[in-house]
C-alpha cells in the first residue's frame, strides 16, 4: 500500500501485513460505511483512476462488491472476465499483464484459480494489485470484512475465539482469516473432516477440532465455509447428506452451545449442506452485515492503495491545525 | 590425482595416449610429442564424472536443450559420460531412436552420451519395449522416467526380463494416486502457499513396491532421485537383505528444502519436490553411508517462458549439469561429510558401475578410456545462469557462490572443455 | 513539529473572536433562523460548537450542527497519498438552509473548495457562509471567508496552529516553525 502509511504497492495477503496495518484498514473502513448510507453514495477520492477487475474465475459477489467500492470512490472501472477475453485463447498471464500496463491502468483487482497468481502479476506491473482471491492461497479483503464484522458485533477481536468450519484445505478465506485473526490476537481453531484439514496447520498456532460439537462448545464465532460440491466427487467426503449430519451448522447443534455464537459465512451458501437455513437467517447470523462491510473494507483498501509519492506525503504530514 | 577406484590420492603425473590412460606415476617423462599441462597445487585430477540421469530433450524439445548443448553442458560441469533420459517427444522406445541419440552424442564431440531407452512402448506403462534390440542399439538402461511404472505387473516383468541383458530398470518412484495434482512438498509451506502437496508417502509407497519386486525377481532396480527419509530406510533395509537395488540423489535434494519454494519460485518446482530439512539430512547421510550410491543431476531443462508463469502451470524440473560439482562440494565436502575422494567416488566411480558403461569408465587405471576431469575444489565462483552451456537457465542456484571450478574435461584423450575462460 | 510556538491569540482572544463572529453571523443572517453550522474535521468541529454555544446564549436557540471530513474530496490524493485517519461526516438536513462552514485556518482555499463540493452532494442550501478563526492569506482559489477571527501574517517556514481543548487541552492560536526532517 502507499508508502505514506507504510504499506507496499499491493495487497496480496494478510500473511505479510502487520497488526497495525490491518487495524488501519479496518479503521479507515469505518467512515466508508457512512458513505454508503448517503443519498449520493459517491465521493471523488479516486476520480480519474482506472481500475481493471481481472477475473479469471467466475465470481459474482466479490466482483460486484469491488465494483461498488470502485464506483463509490468515482474510479473508472473495466471488468475483464477470462471467459470473454483472449486469456482462454492461450494468452499468458505475463502477456495480459504487459497489455494492461501498456494501457496505463492504475490498479488491478485480480481473481485467479492459481495460488500465487496475484503476486506473480504484482511483481511484473507497476500498477497497484489487489488480490481478490488466488487459488487456495489468500482472499485478504474477505478476511478483512470478516474481521470488521466481528469487531462491529463483539467490540473487539483480541481474545475472541473464532472457529473456521468446513473445507479448510481448499480455502483461501480460511488462510487469510487465520493470519488476520492471529495477528489481531484472536484465538483461532479450525474444524472439518480430517480429509479437508491441511497438513501442518496446527504449526501456525491454530487448534484443530475433530468434532463440531467440541468447536461449538469452545467458540464465540463460527465462520462457516462453503463446501464445493466437487469435493464429494473427488472423494474427500462420502456424501453431502453425511456432511450435513456431522459437519453442518444446524440450530439443534447451536442450541447446545454454552453462549451465543456469531455465525459468519463468506457466501454463496449451500443451504442444507454446510449451514441450515434457520441458522443462516437466524438471530446470530451476520452474513448480510458481512456483505455490507465488504464494500466498506474494499473502499478502504482501494483508497489506501491509491496514489501517493512518499516524499510529498512526508511534507503533507506537517501542519496539524493548518490543513488547507 | 584422486581415483577411489584404485585407492589413489597422491601427487602424480598422468599420461594419456591414443585416447586411453597410458600410465600414471611420479615424475613421468612425457614423450616429445605430448602436450603437457601444469596444474596448480590445489587442483585435482579425477576420473571423468558420470551422470546417470539427464534430460537432453532431443528430439521434440530442442528449444529447451539439444543432445549437443546438453553434452557441452555436461562437459562444462566435469561430466565425461551422461545418460540421456528417453522421455522425449517421441520417446526413445525403438532401436532407431536409440541410434539417433548415440549418433548425435558422438557428433557433439563433448561428453559421451549414453541413451537410456523407454521401458514401455511410448512410456505408456502397458507393453514392454524390445529391450534386447534397444540394448544392442546402445541403450544402457530402461526407464519411463518422468512418470512411474504404475503397474506392479509390468514392473515385475521388466525386472525379470532385463536380467538377460544386464541392465537396470531406473525407477521414477511415485504413486500417482497419492501425488495427485501436487506441485510441491506437502507440509506447512504448501498449506500457507495454498499449493497442492505431494506427501513423502507418494515416493515411499512406490520405493517399497520396487524393492519388494526386485527381491522377488532378483532384477536390478535403480531408484532415481531419492528425496525422502522413508525411501532411504526402505533402500537400506532392502540392501541389508541382499536385494539388487541401487539409488541416486540429486544435488538439489541434497541442498534445498521446500522453504525455497516460498514466493512461488518456479525454478524450485521439481518432481520429486524439495522436501523438509529432516529429509535433506537423511539423503545426505544415506549418500555418505552408501545406502544411496551416487549423485545424479536429473538435469531437466525448461525454456524461460515455460517457467515464467503461474506455479501450478509451470513444468517440473531444474538444470543441474553445470552446478552439480559446486553444490556437492558445498553441501558434502565443506561440512566434512565426505572427503574429496568420497565425492569423486559418488560422482564418477560408483555411477559407472550401476549401468553397463564401457570397460574402464569411472577409473584412471592404465588402459581405461581417457576420460578425465580436472578441477580446482577451492576456487569459488558465482553461479551465472546466463553463462551456462545448457540452452536453459532454470536453476535454483542462480547467484550462489559455489566452490569448485572445472578446469579441464577430457574425453577419450581430447580436451572438450577448458574452464579458464570462465574464470 | 516543534511543540513550542509563538502565541498569537490566547484563550481570551479566541473567545472574544468567537463572540464577535457569532454576532456577525446573526447580523448577516438576520437572526438564527434557518442557520446550520457545519464544522470541518477536526478543529473546525470544535470551533463550530463554541460558536453554537455563543449563539444559544444570545438567541436562546440550539442550532443544528454537523461535521464534515473533506479527506475523500481532496484534490491531492495522487500527489501526497492517502491519509489513514478519516473523521466522521454527519450532515443534518441542509436543503434551503443557510449553512455556515466553520474551519480553523483559511489558507489556500482548497479545503473549502472540497467542503463546498462535498456539501453539494448532501443537498442544496439556500446560502453558504464561510467562517474561519484565522485567515493567513495565501489563497490559491477565488474563495474568501465571510467571518474571520484574526488575520495573521505568517513568515516563511512558519505554520499556524489552532489549539482546542478537546484535542489539545487548551484554546489558543500559535505560530510554529515547520521542522524539516
Active site residue B298: yes
What gap in Å lies between CA B47 and CA C12, rounded to an integer?
97
Cα C124-C127-C129 angle, rounded to 5 deg = 125
Is B9 within the bounds of a domain?
no
The tally of domains found in chain B comes to: 1
**Confidence class for position A310, pLDDT limits 50, 70, 90:** very low
Is B91 within the bounds of a domain?
yes
- Touching subunits of C (3+ CB pairs, under 8 Å) are A
Q: Give the burial class of B289: count Cβ atoms within 10 A of its Cβ; 0-12 exposed, 13-18 middle, 19 or more buried.
A: exposed
What gap in Å lies between CA B350 and CA B363, rounded to an integer?
10
Domains of chain C: 6-177 (3.40.50.2020)
- Touching subunits of A (3+ CB pairs, under 8 Å) are B, C
Q: Say whether B309 and A203 touch across the interface (CB within 8 A).
A: no
Q: Say whether A38 and C122 touch across the interface (CB within 8 A).
A: yes
Note down the domain range covering B249. 47-372+389-394
| Tens digit of each residue's pLDDT, chain B (423 residues) | 999 999 999 999 999 999 999 999 998 888 888 889 888 889 999 999 999 999 999 999 999 999 999 999 999 999 999 999 999 999 999 999 999 999 999 999 999 999 999 999 999 999 999 999 999 999 999 999 999 999 999 999 999 999 999 999 999 999 999 999 999 999 999 999 999 999 999 999 999 999 999 999 999 999 999 999 999 999 999 999 999 999 999 999 999 999 999 999 999 999 999 999 999 999 999 999 999 999 999 999 999 999 999 999 999 999 999 999 999 999 999 999 999 999 999 999 999 999 999 999 999 999 999 999 999 999 999 999 999 999 999 999 999 999 999 999 999 999 999 986 443
Please report the residues numbered 68 through 97 in chain C whose beta carbons come closer than 8 angstroms to any beta carbon of chain A: 69, 71-74, 76-90
Residues of A in contact with C93 (CB under 8 A): none
Contact by Cβ (8 Å): B351, B362: yes
Is B24 within the bounds of a domain?
no
What value of ipTM does the predicted structure carry? 0.90
Touching, B vs C (3+ Cβ pairs under 8 A): no
Q: Say whether A115 and B264 touch across the interface (CB within 8 A).
A: yes
Interface test with B, best of A169, A174, A199, A202 (most B CBs within 10 A): A199
> Domain containing B249 — which CATH number?
3.20.20.140
* Distance to chain A for B192, nearest Cα, Å: 7
CB pairs under 8 A between A and C: 115
Residues of C in contact with A38 (CB under 8 A): 121-122
Q: How far apart are the first and last CA of chain A?
A: 25
Q: Which of A93, A199, A203 sits opposite B310 (nearest CB)?
A: A93
- Touching subunits of B (3+ CB pairs, under 8 Å) are A
Q: Which of B187, B191, B193 sits opposite A116 (nearest CB)?
A: B193
Residues of A in contact with B308 (CB under 8 A): 92, 94
Q: Which residue of A has its CA nearest to B306?
A: A92
- Out of B3, B51, B145, B298, the active site residue is B298
Is B417 within the bounds of a domain?
no
Contact by Cβ (8 Å): A79, A67: yes
C-alpha cell at B215: 527381491
pTM: 0.90
Q: Which residue of C has its CA nearest to A106?
A: C78
Q: Which of A115, A200, A201 sits opposite B195 (nearest CB)?
A: A115
Q: Which residue of A has its CA nearest to C109?
A: A324
Nearest Cα neighbor of A140 from A254, A302, A312, A256 is A302
Is B115 within the bounds of a domain?
yes
Is B404 within the bounds of a domain?
no
Interface test with B, best of A15, A57, A87, A120 (most B CBs within 10 A): A120
CB of C18 within 8 Å of a chain A CB? The answer is no
The 3-state secondary structure of chain C reads CCCCCEEEECHHHHHHHHHHHHHHHHHHHCCCCCEEEEEECCHHHHHHHHHHHHHHHHHCCCCCEEEECCHHHCCCHHHHCCCCCCCCCECCCCCCCEEEEEEEEECCCHHHHHHHHHHHCCCCCCEEEEEEEEECCCCCCCCCCCEEEEECCCCCCEEEEEECHHHHCCCEEEEEECCCC
* Distance to chain B for A41, nearest Cα, Å: 37
Amino acid at each position: 500500500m502507499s508508502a505514506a502509511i507504510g504499506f507496499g504497492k499491493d495487497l496480496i495477503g494478510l500473511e505479510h501485513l502487520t497488526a497495525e496495518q490491518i487495524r488501519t484498514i479496518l479503521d479507515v473502513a469505518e467512515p466508508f460505511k457512512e458513505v454508503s448510507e448517503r443519498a449520493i453514495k459517491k465521493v471523488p477520492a479516486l476520480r480519474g483512476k482506472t481500475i481493471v477487475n481481472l477475473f479469471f474465475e467466475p465470481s459474482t459477489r466479490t466482483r460486484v462488491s469491488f465494483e461498488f467500492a470502485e464506483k463509490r470512490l468515482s474510479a473508472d472501472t473495466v471488468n475483464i472476465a477470462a471467459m470473454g477475453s483472449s486469456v482462454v485463447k492461450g494468452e499468458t498471464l505475463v502477456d495480459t499483464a504487459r497489455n494492461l500496463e501498456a494501457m496505463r491502468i492504475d490498479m488491478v483487482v485480480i481473481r485467479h484459480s492459481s495460488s500465487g497468481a496475484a503476486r506473480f502479476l504484482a511483481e511484473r506491473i507497476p500498477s497497484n494489485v489487489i488480490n481478490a482471491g488466488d487459488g487456495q492461497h489468500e482472499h485478504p479483503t474477505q478476511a478483512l470484512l470478516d474481521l470488521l464484522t466481528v469487531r462491529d458485533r463483539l467490540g473487539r477481536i483480541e481474545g475472541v475465539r473464532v472457529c473456521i468450519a468446513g473445507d479448510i484445505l481448499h480455502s483461501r478465506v480460511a488462510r487469510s482469516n487465520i493470519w488476520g485473526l492471529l495477528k489481531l490476537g484472536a484465538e483461532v481453531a479450525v474444524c472439518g473432516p480430517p480429509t479437508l484439514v491441511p497438513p501442518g496447520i496446527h504449526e501456525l498456532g491454530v487448534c484443530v477440532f475433530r468434532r463440531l460439537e467440541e468447536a461449538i462448545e469452545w467458540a464465540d464465532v463460527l465462520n462457516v465455509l462453503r463446501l464445493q460440491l466437487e469435493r464429494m466427487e473427488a472423494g474427500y467426503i462420502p456424501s453431502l447428506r453425511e456432511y450435513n449430519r456431522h459437519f453442518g451448522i444446524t440450530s439443534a447443534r447451536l442450541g447446545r452451545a454454552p453462549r451465543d455464537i456469531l455465525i459468519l459465512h463468506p457466501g454463496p451458501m449451500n443451504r442444507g449442506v454446510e449451514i441450515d437455513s434457520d441458522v443462516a437467517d437466524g438471530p446470530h447470523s451476520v452474513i448480510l452485515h458481512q456483505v455490507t462491510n465488504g464494500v466498506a473494507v474494499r473502499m478502504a483498501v482501494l483508497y489506501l492503495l491509491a496514489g501517493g509519492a512518499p516524499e510529498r506525503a512526508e511534507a503533507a504530514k506537517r501542519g496539524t491545525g493548518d490543513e488547507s | 590425482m584422486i581415483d577411489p577406484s584404485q585407492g589413489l590420492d597422491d601427487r602424480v603425473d598422468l599420461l594419456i595416449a591414443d585416447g586411453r590412460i597410458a600410465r600414471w606415476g611420479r615424475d613421468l617423462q612425457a614423450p616429445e610429442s605430448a602436450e603437457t599441462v601444469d596444474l596448480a597445487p590445489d587442483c585435482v585430477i579425477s576420473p571423468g564424472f558420470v551422470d546417470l540421469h539427464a534430460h537432453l530433450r532431443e528430439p521434440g524439445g530442442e528449444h529447451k536443450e539439444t543432445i549437443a548443448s546438453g553434452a557441452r553442458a555436461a562437459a562444462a560441469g566435469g561430466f565425461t559420460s551422461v545418460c540421456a533420459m528417453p522421455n522425449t517427444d517421441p520417446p526413445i522406445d525403438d532401436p532407431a531412436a536409440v541410434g539417433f541419440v548415440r549418433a548425435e552424442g558422438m557428433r557433439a564431440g563433448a561428453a559421451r552420451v549414453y541413451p537410456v531407452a523407454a521401458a514401455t512402448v511410448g512410456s505408456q506403462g502397458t507393453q514392454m519395449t524390445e529391450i534386447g534390440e534397444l540394448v544392442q542399439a546402445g541403450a544402457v538402461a530402461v526407464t519411463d522416467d518422468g512418470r512411474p511404472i504404475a503397474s506392479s505387473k509390468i514392473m515385475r516383468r521388466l525386472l525379470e526380463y532385463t536380467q538377460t541383458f544386464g541392465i537396470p530398470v531406473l525407477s521414477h518412484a511415485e504413486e500417482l494416486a497419492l501425488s495427485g495434482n501436487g506441485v510441491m512438498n506437502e507440509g506447512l509451506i504448501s498449506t500457507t502457499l495454498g499449493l497442492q502437496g505431494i506427501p513423502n508417502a507418494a515416493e515411499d509407497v512406490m520405493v517399497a513396491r520396487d524393492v519388494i519386486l526386485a527381491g522377488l525377481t532378483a532384477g536390478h532396480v535403480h531408484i532415481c532421485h531419492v528425496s525422502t527419509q522413508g525411501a532411504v530406510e526402505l533402500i537400506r533395509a532392502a540392501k541389508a537383505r541382499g536385494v539388487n537395488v541401487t539409488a541416486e540423489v540429486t544435488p538439489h535434494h541434497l541442498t534445498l528444502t521446500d522453504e525455497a519454494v516460498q514466493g512461488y519460485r518456479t525454478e524450485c518446482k521439481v518432481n520429486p519436490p524439495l522436501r523438509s530439512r529432516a529429509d535433506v539430512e537423511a539423503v545426505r547421510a544415506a549418500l555418505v553411508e552408501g545406502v544411496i550410491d551416487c549423485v545424479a543431476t536429473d538435469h531437466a531443462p525448461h525454456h524461460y517462458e515455460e517457467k515464467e508463469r503461474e506455479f501450478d502451470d509451470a513444468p517440473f524440473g531444474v538444470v543441474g549439469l553445470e552446478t552439480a560439482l559446486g553444490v556437492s562440494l558445498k553441501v558434502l565436502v565443506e561440512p566434512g561429510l565426505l572427503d574429496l575422494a568420497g565425492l569423486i567416488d559418488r560422482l564418477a566411480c560408483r555411477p559407472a558401475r550401476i549401468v553397463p558403461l564401457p570397460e574402464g569408465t569411472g577409473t584412471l587405471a592404465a588402459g581405461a578410456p581417457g576420460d578425465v576431469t580436472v578441477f580446482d575444489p577451492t576456487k569459488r565462483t558465482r553461479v551465472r545462469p546466463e553463462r551456462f552451456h545448457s540452452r536453459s537457465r532454470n536453476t535454483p542456484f542462480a547467484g550462489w557462490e559455489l566452490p569448485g571450478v572445472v578446469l579441464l574435461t577430457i574425453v577419450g584423450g581430447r580436451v572438450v572443455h577448458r574452464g579458464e575462460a570462465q574464470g | 513539529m516543534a511543540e513550542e510556538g509563538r502565541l498569537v491569540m490566547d484563550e481570551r482572544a479566541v473567545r472574544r473572536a468567537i463572540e464577535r463572529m457569532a454576532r456577525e453571523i446573526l447580523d448577516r443572517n438576520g437572526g438564527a433562523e434557518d442557520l446550520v453550522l457545519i464544522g470541518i474535521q477536526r478543529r473546525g468541529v470544535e470551533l463550530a460548537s463554541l460558536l453554537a454555544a455563543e449563539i444559544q446564549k444570545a438567541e436562546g436557540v440550539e442550532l443544528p450542527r454537523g461535521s464534515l471530513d473533506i479527506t475523500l474530496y481532496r484534490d491531492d490524493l495522487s500527489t501526497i497519498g492517502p491519509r489513514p485517519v478519516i473523521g466522521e461526516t454527519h450532515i443534518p438536513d441542509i436543503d434551503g438552509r443557510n449553512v455556515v462552514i466553520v474551519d480553523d485556518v483559511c489558507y489556500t482555499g482548497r479545503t473549502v473548495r472540497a467542503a463546498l463540493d462535498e456539501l453539494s452532494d448532501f443537498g442544496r442550501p439556500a446560502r453558504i457562509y464561510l467562517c474561519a478563526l484565522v485567515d493567513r492569506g495565501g489563497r490559491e482559489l477565488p474563495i474568501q471567508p465571510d467571518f474571520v477571527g484574526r488575520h495573521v501574517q505568517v513568515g516563511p517556514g512558519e505554520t499556524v496552529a489552532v489549539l482546542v481543548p478537546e484535542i489539545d487541552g487548551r484554546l489558543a492560536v500559535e505560530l510554529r516553525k515547520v521542522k524539516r526532517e
